[in-house]
Amino acid sequence: MTRFWLGGYGPAMDGQADGIGLLAGDEGREATTLAYRGAVAETPSPSWLAQHPSLDVVYAALEADAQVQAFARTGEAALSPLGDPVAVGENVCHLAVAPNGAFLIASCYGDGRVVRIGLDAAGRLVPAHGKADAAAALRAALFGDEDPDAPAATPPGDGVAASDPHAAGADRVSHAHAAAFLPDGRIATTDLGFDLVRFWKQSANGLILDHEVVLPLGTGPRHMVVHPSGHLHVVTEYSCEVFTLAAGVDGTWRVVSSTLSSPIAEIGTDFPAELARSRDGQFLYTALRGSNTIATLRVRGGGEALESVALADSGVDWPRHHLVHEGKMLVAGQRSDTVTLLDLDERTGAALGIRHEAQVPAPTHFLPVR
C-alpha cells in the first residue's frame, strides 16, 4: 500500500496532533503493519490536505489559524514550508486544487468564505495582488481579488437564493464546507448552513456565481463526489441523505434523486462526514459519526440513482474521513485517536471487517504520498 500524509487536530482544536503526520507500513506487509511514523512537518491543526497536480507540493488547511500553508517535499518522508501562510477565513476546513495547478479553493466553515488563492509555477501561494498580509487576504472577500472591476463581494446565500425564503432565513449562518472541480471547468461548492450547492465560473478576476441549487431546509450539504457519469453526489450532514445532481442541456444543475445514506441512520444522532467512491464508481461510501459506521451505497442506472447496500462498524470513534485505496478503506477516528483499515467485498462493495488498527493522534484526513 501507499504511504499517507495525515491531517490532524492540534490542541487548539481539542486534539493532540503536532503537525502533518506520516502513516506507513513495512514493505510488502503494509496492510498489517501500518503505523503512525510521527510528524513530518510541525504546523497547527492541518485538518485537510491537498496535493498539487504536477508538483511535489502539499497544501494544508490550518483550521484553527484561518490560514492555508504550502509545503514542499524535501525528502522521502519530509515536508518543509514553501513560502508564508496565507490568511483566508475562519475555520478553513477544505482545500481543492485546480486540475491545471493555477489556483486552489479554500472553504471556510466559520464565516462561510470561499477563497480563491493563486499558485505560482513553483506551487507557492499567491495572495491577492501579491500581498501576503492577513488584512489583504481578508479584504479579498470571497475570491482573493481587490480589483475594482471585479464583481462586488456578496455573502454566501445572496444572489440567486436571496429570493427564496428558505435561503434567506434571518437566523441561519453560512458554513462553506467543500469544493469540487467539474468536467466543464466550473466549480461546485457546498454551503452547509444555507443548504446550498453553488456553481461558479472562472474569470480573470476570480470566480463568478453562475447559479445555485437550494436543497431542502435543514439538510446541510457537506461533501461531494464527482461521478464518472458526470453526476454530482452530495452528502448532507444534518438529514443523513445523499442528493444526486445533474446538469441539463442548458448547463443548469438540478436535483435528480435523493436517498438516505443509511436506512437506519438516526437524524440528530448520526452526522455523515466524507463521501467517497470506489475507483470504478460502482459504489459510494459515507461515514456516520455517532453510530460510527460506514454505509455503502450502490450507484444505479446511468449514475443518477443510489440504493443502500450495507452498514458496517468503522472501528473508530467519530470517523471524520475515509479513503478507498487499492480495494481497501482507511478510516480516521478523530475522537478515538485511531486509524482502521477495512477490507471491502469486491462483489457487494460492503466493508467486510477490520483488518488493522493503528494509534494516531486526532486524525482528520488521508492524502496518499505520491
* pLDDT tens readout for residues 54-69: 999 999 999 999 999 9
Name the residue with higher pLDDT: 136 or 115: 115
Q: What confidence score (pLDDT) does residue 32 get?
A: 86
Please choose, from the candidates 139, 102, 109, 146, the residue with its C-alpha nearest in 3D space to the C-alpha of residue 124.
102
Q: What confidence score (pLDDT) does residue 156 get?
A: 47
What pairing do the DSSP bridges indicate for beta strands 253-260 and 293-300? unpaired
Q: Give residue 347's identity as a one-letter amino acid code.
A: R
Name the residue with higher pLDDT: 4 or 154: 4
Q: What confidence score (pLDDT) does residue 163 get?
A: 39
Q: Is pLDDT above 90 for 131?
A: no
> In sequence order, which residues have a C-beta less than 8 Å from that of residue 101 and are 6 or more positions away?
52, 53, 54, 55, 119, 123
Grade residue 140 by pLDDT with cuts at 50, 70 and 90.
Answer: very low
In tens, the pLDDT along 317-370 reads 999 999 999 999 999 999 999 999 999 998 999 999 999 999 999 999 999 999
Q: Is pLDDT above 90 for 147?
A: no
Q: Is pLDDT above 50 for 187?
A: yes
pTM of the model as a whole: 0.90
Q: What confidence score (pLDDT) does residue 106 get?
A: 97
Q: Is pLDDT above 70 for 243?
A: yes
For residues 314 and 58, give the distance between their C-alpha atoms in angstroms, rounded to a whole number: 27
> What b-and-e string marks burial along 245-280, b requiring 16 or more CB atoms within 10 Å of the CB?
bbbeeeeebebbbbbbbbeebeeeebbbbbbbbbee
109-129: average pLDDT = 92
Task: Tell me the β-bridge partners of 169.
Answer: none
Q: What confidence score (pLDDT) does residue 142 get?
A: 45
* % of the chain with per-residue pLDDT over 90: 82
208-232: average pLDDT = 96
> In sequence order, which residues have a C-beta less than 8 Å from that of residue 152 and are 6 or more positions away?
none
